[in-house]
Structure formats: structure tokens, C-alpha cells
Structure 1
Amino acid sequence: MNILSIIPIFGLILLQSFGSRGQKQSDAPIRYINNTFCKIPDLNQWEMKMFYEPKAYIPCETIPPLVKLEKDDEFYFLAVDTSAVQFYADSMDKISCVISNISRGINTQLPDQTMRESKPVPFDSTTRSEMIKDTVRVRCYIAEKPPRIVYENVFGAYVRYNIITRGRPLAKQPYNILMIALDSVSKYSFPKLLPKTFEYLNKINFKQLYGYTQLDNDALTNIIPILSGYSIKDAMKHFGTPLKTFFDTYEFLWHDYRKYGYATIFAEDFSNANTFNRQYKGFWSQPTDYYFRALSVASDLLNSTKLDNMPHCTGPENSAERILKLASNATGAFRNRPYFGLFWFNSFSHDDYNAPRRMDEKLKRFFQDIYPNLNKTIVFFFSDHGYDKDSITEQKYGAYESKSPFHFVYLPQIFEMSHKDLAHQFDKNRFTLVSPYDIFCTLEDILSLSGTNHFARKSKSCKHCRSLFKEISMKRNCKSIGVEEEWCICVVDEAKLRTPGNIAKDDNSKIHERSEAITTKSTAFYLFLYIFYYFLNHF
């Protein structure tokens, strides 16, 4: 072989060797978002390890429930589980059960804050009792003097009478919308606190929005833009302050979906921390077809226990699991009608950083259970904001933890096959800065793609925000998507990041960039010297 032919090969090897050394020596942070206008780091999930405390799931009961909910076609029934009687009484003859309907207190000044209950009616333990209302209470007694309650619970279901008079759906090729919201969980802590759920979501192709950001550290401030396209400030100016008026006048997009025949659903798991009721008047009229506010109020009145300073067991059930069942049942409840459902969870994440760890296995099973029913369902799984309590915000990366909610979206295969260009654009937009206003635009876009003549509304408070199915600039900044500076984690230089405790460290990115440039130049220089020396000694 000619010696001259070896020199270029050896030179390339040498160049690669020097280049790889430079890469190994680099400690540049990997970034979720990285452009001239915005840098958001992909931090190691263990940055906050000093706050991490593993917590285990604690069941509410060690015996099976006495009464179970059954579904037959589109009808729901309550029945005594005869196999469970042995845990409550010597025989079924000694147990008597009654059922009563639960609804909102419509004759009061604040219907959402109260409930009313119909006269209890006995039901035969040997047969099934059909549910004719969305929410019912069941009490079972031992025939003693006085009678002793051995079982009490509340149940929610999708009773068909709510929508049977609505007529046929107008959407010709509808996509269901399922929204699952967890309070106060960041994108950085999610893989650590919910590792099994995180792994399964990736397995079934849930897509993470790496640049999703919040507008404030309050749930309402972040959900109002998703549901209406308005900032909370603009919404109050346009529709009135919810401290003085009801939310009925707010133009929430579930009304848009309802116009085209969708069954609409809203449920939360903790009545005292309810998004629309904690500090506000709530709704005068029922806002959705299935509005489980009465279920939440009634369940919190059962014999309850707290864990991590939050409701844990309300009656014989875990507060969150009761609503997870509702969300799971929604995916199979509507045979001839699409649905729009929002399910909000506060009871295992709001007041304790590590509490979500207890529910990891339950959340994973929830997604495993619903996955076969998602062939025409688009899922939004997200948090309103990061965790901002304790002293987390005072840490080096505390502002990232407190201001970076997680957000996953699932697009069914039928959508990706029917709208390949849109799905491709969505994948690109996962790596840009995204705000709740963009989610509103996306939800409006989905309705227009569902075989309707719906004209997708744009956000009134963010003129540059767009559907994630449309082309979006990769060079967005916080101002362009309606995020105020106080809540912005999109920075050019990490050293400028301000945490509430004003603790921030210098970023190595510029040092790395200079180091990388020096390494490249040094590699070229040494390669030149080597070739020059080789020729000098051999020719």
C-alpha cells in the first residue's frame, strides 16, 4: 500500500480521537430547549434528591367492598357482592341496604358548595338496583337495635338519561378528548416520583412536551387559558370575577364540543381543593353533562382519613382511585357518542412532594386499563404547575422544579395515519416553548378535525400562540407565548435565572462552547504538525 494513502486515514483517526477527547471532557448540560432566545436544561431527576423520600401505597381496606358497581350495555347497577358478605355479617339475612340519589343543592345561593339527598330506598340484596342518577349513596346495616352501619360508600356513573334527549352527534369522525391533570408535579420530578408510569407512557408512545411551561403557581390561572384561551386577568375583565359571579358565563371549550354531540365530563377528587370552588363561587348551573361535584362533596363527608396532609380514604375507597375509576369507565361508557372529559387530582400531590410515589403503580395500571380503548382518543396528561412548597424553591435549580409542569399527549394511530403531516408537525413542536394557550388552540383544532364545521377559535390573550399541529417558530421566548417574566424559565444564560430565594449558579454552557472551539482548533493544529513532521522525516 502506498504510504501516502495511509496518511489521510491515520489523520481521520487522529482527528476523531482528539474530537472524542474533547467531548468526554465536556460537562455541557443537555437541554430540553436550546436556541438563541431560550435555553431550558434537562436536569438530572436526582438534583432534588435531598427532598426525596420513598413512600409506599397504603390501602384503605383489607376486606373486599360489600357493594359493587356493574355495567350492562349502557346501564349501571349496584349489587351486593355475596362473596364479601362473610366479612361483614354471619349471613346475608342480617344485612339490609338502602340507596339514595345525591345531587347539587340547587336551591341554595352556592349550589356547588352543598348537596341534597333523596329519601333512602331499600334494595333487594339478591338482585341489582339500577342507577338513575349520576351519584348515589349506599348504606348497609346489621339488623340490630339500633341498626349498625357496616358499609357506606358513594358511587358515580354515566347514566344515559343525561344525554339521551340530545339527539345524534354532529361530529362525523370524532376524536374523544381525555384530560388527566395532577396538581403540583414537575417534568423533572415525574420520572423519579412516578417511574413505572413514566416507563409505561414511553412504551405506548405518549409524547412529552419538553418546553411546556406555566403561567402562574395557581391551578385556576393555568386551567382557564386551556379551557378558554383567555388569561385569568382578561377572563375576569370579559366575563366577571369569580369571586362575585359564577363561572357559567365563561366560554369554556367543553361548550364547543357539546354543540357537536360530545358528552362532557368534569370531576375532581378533593372537594375542599376544587379548582373552581376553593376560593370562588363555582357554577350556578351544571357546566357539563356529567358533573361530579356532588360526588366529591358526598365522598368527603364519609368517614375519612388523611395522609400526607391530604384526603386519603373517604369511606372504604382511596379518594383518587374513586375518580380514576370514573376516568377509566369514561373510555368505555359511550358506544355511540364521543366524549370530552377533564379529571383533576389534588389528593395525592398537592401538599407533599413525595406523595405521588404512593400512586405510581395505580396510575400505571390505570393507563394499562384504558389503553385498549384509546383507538379514537387523544389524551392530555399534565400538571398545572411544578412543586413550589417547602424550601425547594430556594435550591440551585428550585425555580426549574417549581415552574416546570409536565405534559404528555397521546395521539391514536388512526389520527397519525389520517393526518400524517399534522402528526409530524406535532412531533417537531414538542421541542419548542409551549404555553397553556397553545393547548387551547390545539383542542379547538382537534374539534375542527373531527368532521365538524367548527371554526377553531384563537386565543384572545396570546395572539402568537398556535395549535401544536401547525408550524411554530423554534425561536419562541416567554413574552411571545404570554408567560410573564416572573414565571419564565426560558433564559439565554442560566446564571440569570432568579429563584424565589435568589439562589442561582453560573452556567457552564459558554465555557463549554469556548472549550469546544479550542479543542477543535487544537486538534487541527496537532494534526497539521503530525503530517508536517511525517513528511519532513520520510521524504
Structure 2
Amino acid sequence: MKLFLRVLSVAVLAVIFVGFTRIQNTFMFERQLLQPRNTTSLLLVNTAGCKIMKLDPFDMSIRSFFPTHSVFTCRENEDIVYVKHNTIFINWNFAQDRNPTLKYCKYDVIWRPINTNTDHNFFRFINESKPFTDNQTIHDDFIRVRCFDNYNHVVYRNAFSFVHLKKKAERRCIENFKKHSHNRRHLSILMIGVDSISRNNMIRYMPKTRHFLYKNLSALDYLGYNKVADNTFLNMVPMTTGKFVHELPLNTSLTDVSFDQFDFIWNKFSEKGYRTLYSEDASYGQIFDYEKAGFKKPTADYFDRPLSLVLEDMHDIWNTNHHCVHARLETDIYLEYTRRFVQKFKTSPYFSFTFISRLTHDELSNAKKADDLYYRFFKSLSEESSLNNTIIFFYSDHGIRFGQFRQTFIGKIKERLPFLFIILPQWFKVKYPEIYTNCKTNQQRLISPFDIFETMTHILNFYTYNIKNSKMRRGLSLFNAIPQTRRCEDANILPHWCTCSKQHVLSTGDQTVRKIARHFIQILNSKIASFKQCETLFIKRVISATKIIPTDVVLKYVNTSHVGEKSSILYGHRVSTYIDYQISLQTVPGDAMFEFTVRYDESESNFNMTGDFSRINLYNRTSYCISGIELKKICYCKVQT
């Protein structure tokens, strides 16, 4: 009996202890919930002028959009013809196994004149070689290789690029650089652009590249990089000219106007003695060529559009969803061309612009396939010591613009926030510590493509750049500290693209929302009213509606006072503001999905369109009956093929 009572007492004490422990843990947990939270960690940018939300790249609400992918490989694992340095070789062992009838090869030069105006799609094959069965040293920029059997039938085709010194370009560069540099140390520029990758998507799918950039190249990661317009072209023009497209001026409905007349940033560098490279993949979708007239003359000393046209026209050489040319990844072809250029001129001034689109343009998770390619590219340049005099801009134009993910809240925000890394040479950071400090500070400021343009302008005119003259520009050099008070309005980022504001989700049945939606449909129909081949559009459904209001911090801000190194911000009464309504809707016929922003002016009590809108699902062939990018976004052809 006594034993039983002892056991019972121990059991009761144990229950009391466990119960007390659980109550204590619950109490401690509730105390943690009540503690003030560090809201700074919830923001990418947290300044008086702009607050940008930090959204988890692996948020549970979007995980279904991110399938895993294995390593990306081409269907073919070897090439019959391959290049080492400036020499082409025939892989006879593989050739005999793959195509035993192959007996010899020839190459011809892919040619486009340098100083003569031609159509942007022009090229010619010239100077065909004699038949060869051994390696050949190449002295031209681009060649096409064809291999034949005993009956002189073509059994293999390919095309290759090379980087050689060009006498006229070298003479111009040496003379102009001597005139402008005054024997001072130069900084070259390497721009590597990747289509449709948000900063969050890079975190998800390109960890290898990111880790190398951080650890080995001390890259600066710009968290508040905000696009200024819809697509690649509309963001690249501000980055490379410092102007919006309509300011060039350029009528985007005119597909026969070339871009030779405009002063791109690489032209400015060329005038001061820099060798220039311009490289893009996917010839028919290139920035200045898709439904446009491109350049009548090569826009750079090293210009590979003729190569991309030839590759595209040889349909039988492609595999793996049009991402491989035989055993070479298309992305690698253009990165290798750029790498050779940088390696060739690593001690000479150069400006290199490379933009790669096809691999990542259409599919969110294809960034994973790109990871190893860009990692190898940067690793190779680093190991070759090719970057000692180079500033790198590694960036995207925007996030993914189409598909179901784009229609989510996170997809909407991240489409506007592409990634941007800037890498400075070590000697430059040591010699100019104030500039390096500013560049680091600006990682958490609101910035745009206009700032990249202004930074490159600063680099070009490094010893004569006037900071005072730049303070009132919409584009600010990242070598100077971006003001904490900077707003989207200051940076010329339209409300439709601005990620700084608070957002409140509205009911899709809200009367104001329905009224705005009907007005937007009227605007769309007015744009296509004179094109009888297009259907009249009607609202099928309102998908989502968000009210966007500037933060109270912005609305109450008066000024900032500085005393020594300390600064204080003065706030006053809230001023009247604009309220933006961002609405997504679907139309019939055609099930097109649009997203647009309308602004309400509190002081005037009226609504106005902010001047831009997005088509957020693909139109494919449904708009075949009309030309012009904006009209194609709207028109649903009455006759569907």
C-alpha cells in the first residue's frame, strides 16, 4: 500500500511538473510574440523616400511553381568540328562513329560590310576554303563550316566566332585614347545581361553563381533595383541612352527606322578610344531587331549578329528545345565570344555589351539551367586575371512577365525587381574608398536603369565628372550616395512599376474597381477601333485589385538636417497624395489578361491612367493580323488561324 502511494505521489508530481513546464513555455512563446519586431529585416529598402517589401524567395504560397531540374546537357555530347583558340579541328574519331561517310570539310566566311548601310538581317558567305581534313587556323571573325561525303553531299554544318585584332579599330582606339586619357589608368566595362530573372529567382535558381560572385569577386548586390518600363527594349534604352524610348525620339510603330542615329553608351566609349563589343543570342528576338530595323551598320567593333543569323537559319543543327547547337549550349557560344574578347583586351580599354535571352525568357525555372554556365564564365575570367581593370554590371531587365506565377502577388512585385550585381576591381576600392562606400550604401537604395547609364557616364568621364551637375538628373551615379529621400517620382519610375508603396488588397466587386475596369476597356478598344480585323473587347472578370498608397513617412516628410556626421529627419502634417489602383482583368474574346494602374488625385478628386499597362499572358498567334508591339498586346484577330 505504501509503495502504491509513493508511486502515485511521484506520478502526480510529474504531471504537475509537465503541466507547469508547458504553461511556462506557452507564456514564454506569447512573450516572444509580444516583443517589438525588427521591421527593418522585412524590407529590402528602408529609406524616407522608399520602402520595398522583402518577400521570401521560397514562400510556401509559390512553391508549386518551382520544380526541380537536373543539370542541363545537350542531346549531343561531342562535336564533329570544334575550336581551340583560333584554330578549328575535325574530331575524326567521333565523326567516323557518328557519320562514317564524312570525308572532308570546307569553311566560308560569314561577312557583313563595316562601313556600308545594309538591312539588319544582311550577311553573305564569301571566300570559300579549299577542302581540308586537318586543323585550320582562322583569321576571320565568323565562319560557317560544312562537311561532305564522297558524293559531295553536306552531312554536317556549324558556325563559329573568333576574336582578332582589327588594324583600323586599333589605330582609332590608340589615337583617341591617347587624346582623352592623358595617360591615366582606365576602367573597362563588362555588361552581362540575362533576360527575365528577378532577384528572388536568382536566389532560388542560381546559388552557384551568386556564391562565386560574393566570395571570389566581392560583388555588390543591389536590392532596390527597380525597372522603369515593361519589356526588355523599353528598359534597355534607358540603360544605354539615358532616355525613355519616346525621348529618342522613336515611334515604335515604325518598323523600318534603324537605330544608327542614336547615341548609345558604347558609342561614347568608342569615341574615347575603347574597343567595343555587342553580342546577343536569338537573332530574331534581339533587343533592337524584334519588329524593328536594327542597325544598318555594325554598332560595335565586334558585332556578332551575322553569326546568330546564320546559326538560326541552319535548322538541322539545333537540339534540346532549341538551346543547343550540336554539343554546344547556345548561351555558352555567346559567353565564350565575350570571354575571348575580354581576355584579348584585358590590358586595353574596352566596352562590352552582351545580352542573353532565349534560355531564361519563357520559363521561370530555366534560371537553374543557366547557373552553371554563368558560374563557369565568371570563374574562367577570374582565373585568367582578366578583370583587373574592369567594372562588371551583371543584371537582368525584369522578372518573368508571363504565366501563372506572374499573376500571383509575389510574381507581380518581383517582375519589377530584376537582379543587379556590380563588381569593382580591388585596386579601385582601395584607391577610392569613398566611392566604394557609396556603392555599398546604394545597395539598399531605390535605383533604376537610368542610374546604370549615369554610372557608366561617370566612369567614362571619371577625372572630369561634375557631381553638382548630376544631382538634379533622374539618373544618379552609383559612385555618389543616392539620397535617402529618393522616391519613384524622382527616379522617373512610373507608379505602375514602382515597388515602394504600401499595398491594400480590394474586393474585385468594389464599385470603384468595376468603374475603373470599364474605363480601361474603353481605352483599349479606342486604340484598336480603326483596325477592323480586331475584335471589340469586353470584361470577362476582374482578377485582382490593389490600392497603392505612398507611406505616411513619405507624405509627412519635411526635410533632413545634418550636423556633422549626424542627421535627423523632420516630419510634418500629411499632405494630399495620389492613390493608385492597380487592377488585373481578363477580356473576351481571347482570354487576354491585362494589368494596369489608374491614379486618383486627392487634391483634384479625379482619375487618370498613368500611361502604361502590361499584357500578362502570351498572345502568341492570336494577334498575327496586326503589327506594332502595343497593338499586338491588345488585338484579338477576328479570323484565327
User: One fold, TM greater than 0.5?
Assistant: yes
SS in 2 for 1:397: helix
Residue pairs, 1:334-353, within 5 angstroms: 334=345, 337-353=348-364
Deviation at 1:498, TM superposition (A): 12
2:342 to 321, 331, 334: 331
2:327 counterpart of 1:319:
no
Which residue in 1 is equivalent to 2:489?
479
1:125–1:388 Cα change, 3 Å: same
Is the contact between residue 381 and residue 387 of structure 2 (CA under 8 Å) also seen in structure 1? yes
| Count of aligned pairs between the two proteins | 477
Which residue in 1 is equivalent to 2:222?
209
Which residue in 1 is equivalent to 2:285?
273
Q: Distance in 2 between matches of 1:88 and 1:397?
A: 48
Which residue in 1 is equivalent to 2:593?
none
Per-residue deviation, residues 495-522 of structure 1 (Å, max 9, x unmatched): 3799994355999x99xxxxxxxxxxxx
Which residue in 2 is equivalent to 1:136?
143
1:408 to 414, 418, 421: 421
Deviation at 1:336, TM superposition (A): 5.0
Residue pairs, 1:314-463, within 5 angstroms: 314-334=325-345, 337-372=348-383, 373-449=386-462, 463=473
Question: Which moved further from structure 2: 474-483 or 119-128?
Answer: 119-128
Q: Distance in 1 between matches of 2:375 and 2:261?
A: 37
1:20–1:325 Cα change, 3 Å: farther
Give the TM-score taking structure 2 as reference length: 0.68
Is the contact between residue 78 and residue 327 of structure 2 (CA under 8 Å) also seen in structure 1? no
1:111–1:497 Cα change, 3 Å: farther
Q: Distance in 1 between matches of 2:302 and 2:220?
A: 28
Per-residue deviation, residues 410-457 of structure 1 (Å, max 9, x unmatched): 1110111121111111111111000111100100111122x6x68899
2:515 counterpart of 1:502:
no
Question: Which moved further from structure 2: 118-127 or 380-389?
Answer: 118-127
Higher relative contact order (CA 8 A, sep 6+): 1
Residue pairs, 1:136-175, within 5 angstroms: 136-142=143-149, 144-149=150-155, 151-161=156-166, 163-168=169-174, 169-170=177-178, 171=181, 172-175=184-187
Which residue in 2 is equivalent to 1:67?
81
Is the contact between residue 495 and residue 505 of structure 1 (CA under 8 Å) also seen in structure 2? yes
Structure 2: gaps (5+ residues): 1-27, 509-541, 553-641
Which residue in 1 is equivalent to 2:262?
250
Q: Distance in 2 between matches of 1:120 and 1:22?
A: 76
Q: Distance in 1 between matches of 2:399 and 2:473?
A: 25
- Residue identity matched to 2:404: S
Q: Distance in 1 between matches of 2:252 and 2:546?
A: 39
1:233–1:496 Cα change, 3 Å: farther
SS in 2 for 1:125: coil
SS in 2 for 1:211: coil
Is the contact between residue 217 and residue 386 of structure 1 (CA under 8 Å) also seen in structure 2? no
SS in 1 for 2:166: helix
1:105–1:218 Cα change, 3 Å: farther
SS in 2 for 1:46: coil
1:19–1:327 Cα change, 3 Å: farther
SS in 2 for 1:214: coil
Q: Distance in 2 between matches of 1:352 and 1:469?
A: 35
Is the contact between residue 153 and residue 316 of structure 1 (CA under 8 Å) also seen in structure 2? no
Question: Which moved further from structure 2: 56-65 or 171-180?
Answer: 56-65
Per-residue deviation, residues 140-197 of structure 1 (Å, max 9, x unmatched): 223x224341x32111122212623325133431112111111111111111121221
Q: Distance in 2 between matches of 1:51 and 1:265?
A: 37
2:500 counterpart of 1:465:
no
Deviation at 1:252, TM superposition (A): 0.6
SS in 1 for 2:263: coil
Which residue in 2 is equivalent to 1:190?
202
Q: Percent identity?
A: 24
- Residue identity matched to 2:146: R
2:124 counterpart of 1:113:
no
1:175–1:501 Cα change, 3 Å: farther
Deviation at 1:60, TM superposition (A): 2.5
Question: Which moved further from structure 2: 222-231 or 159-168?
Answer: 159-168
Give the TM-score taking structure 1 as reference length: 0.80
Which residue in 2 is equivalent to 1:516?
none
Is the contact between residue 142 and residue 307 of structure 2 (CA under 8 Å) also seen in structure 1? yes
Deviation at 1:364, TM superposition (A): 1.3
Residue pairs, 1:283-302, within 5 angstroms: 283-302=295-314
- Residue identity matched to 2:481: E
Is the contact between residue 215 and residue 483 of structure 1 (CA under 8 Å) also seen in structure 2? yes
- Residue identity matched to 1:200: F
Q: Distance in 1 between matches of 2:357 and 2:448?
A: 21
Q: Distance in 2 between matches of 1:164 and 1:497?
A: 61
SS in 1 for 2:105: strand
Which residue in 2 is equivalent to 1:233?
246
SS in 1 for 2:209: helix
Q: Distance in 2 between matches of 1:490 and 1:339?
A: 36
Structure 1: gaps (5+ residues): 1-16, 511-539
1:63–1:22 Cα change, 3 Å: closer
- What root-mean-square deviation, in Å, do the aligned CA atoms of Structure 1 and Structure 2 show? 3.3
Is the contact between residue 441 and residue 457 of structure 1 (CA under 8 Å) also seen in structure 2? no
Q: Distance in 1 between matches of 2:134 and 2:283?
A: 34
SS in 2 for 1:122: coil
Which residue in 2 is equivalent to 1:102?
110
1:148–1:258 Cα change, 3 Å: closer
- Residue identity matched to 2:455: T
Which residue in 2 is equivalent to 1:80?
90
- Residue identity matched to 2:90: V
Is the contact between residue 208 and residue 407 of structure 1 (CA under 8 Å) also seen in structure 2? yes
2:67 to 28, 41, 53: 53
Deviation at 1:26, TM superposition (A): 4.4
Which residue in 2 is equivalent to 1:514?
none
Is the contact between residue 266 and residue 276 of structure 2 (CA under 8 Å) also seen in structure 1? yes
- Residue identity matched to 1:166: R
1:42–1:335 Cα change, 3 Å: closer
Deviation at 1:475, TM superposition (A): 2.0
Q: Distance in 2 between matches of 1:313 and 1:375?
A: 32
- Residue identity matched to 2:369: R
Deviation at 1:89, TM superposition (A): 5.7
Residue pairs, 1:4-19, within 5 angstroms: none
Deviation at 1:322, TM superposition (A): 0.6
Deviation at 1:61, TM superposition (A): 4.7
SS in 1 for 2:170: coil
Q: Distance in 2 between matches of 1:296 and 1:344?
A: 13
Q: Distance in 2 between matches of 1:457 and 1:118?
A: 53
Q: Distance in 1 between matches of 2:382 and 2:233?
A: 29
Is the contact between residue 67 and residue 80 of structure 1 (CA under 8 Å) also seen in structure 2? yes
